[in-house]
């Protein structure tokens, strides 16, 4: 009798564990359905500010604290990351102050890269920036 009860308890336990495991949420984002996936990686940036052009590299990662945002590294070649909200092919910078610059703007992903139009202001006046991101 004890042996049968032990077997039955074991079967019920493993069945419940299988059921509970199948109900857990997947923490890994599916690259086919996560709109952020196309933005993640290393990028070459061509930044145009009025009549000057600046080229530099940037790294973009998923924001570990928010599953609808990314972190764009080295924006405006300042070295610090800025959060951005991704919705399908659109990207909106979260208004931020980085190294004394207020930065805000948005962009569109198309054809394997994206263009980000944003404004910077360090207190001396706003400057319009057009940054073109091409995947490395």
> Domain holding 128: CATH number?
2.40.128.420
Structural domains counted in the chain = 1
Task: Tell me whether residue 1 is in a domain.
Answer: no
Lookup: tokens for 79? 């070295």
Task: Tell me whether residue 20 is in a domain.
Answer: no
Task: Tell me whether residue 98 is in a domain.
Answer: yes
Task: Tell me whether residue 3 is in a domain.
Answer: no
Task: Tell me whether residue 100 is in a domain.
Answer: yes
Q: What is the pLDDT along the chain (136 residues), one digit of tens a residue?
A: 555 544 545 554 444 445 444 444 444 445 568 999 999 999 999 999 988 999 999 999 999 999 999 999 999 999 999 999 999 999 999 999 999 999 999 999 999 999 999 999 999 999 999 999 999 9
Q: Which domain holds residue 78?
A: 37-135
State pTM to two decimals.
Answer: 0.75
Task: Tell me whether residue 79 is in a domain.
Answer: yes
Task: Tell me whether residue 10 is in a domain.
Answer: no
Task: Tell me whether residue 97 is in a domain.
Answer: yes
């Amino acid at each position: 009798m004890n042996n049968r009860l032990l077997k039955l308890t074991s079967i019920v336990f493993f069945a419940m564990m299988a059921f509970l495991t199948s109900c857990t949420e997947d923490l890994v984002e599916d690259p086919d359905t996560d709109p952020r996936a196309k933005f993640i990686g290393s990028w070459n940036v061509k930044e145009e500010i009025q009549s000057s052009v600046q080229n530099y590299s940037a790294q973009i990662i998923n924001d570990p604290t928010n599953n609808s945002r990314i972190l764009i590294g080295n924006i405006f070649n300042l070295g610090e990351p800025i959060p951005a909200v991704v919705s399908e092919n659109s990207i909106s910078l979260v208004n931020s102050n980085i190294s004394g610059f207020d930065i805000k703007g948005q962009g569109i992903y198309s054809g394997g890269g994206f263009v980000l139009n944003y404004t910077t202001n360090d207190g001396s006046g706003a400057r319009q920036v057009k940054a073109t991101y091409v995947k490395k």
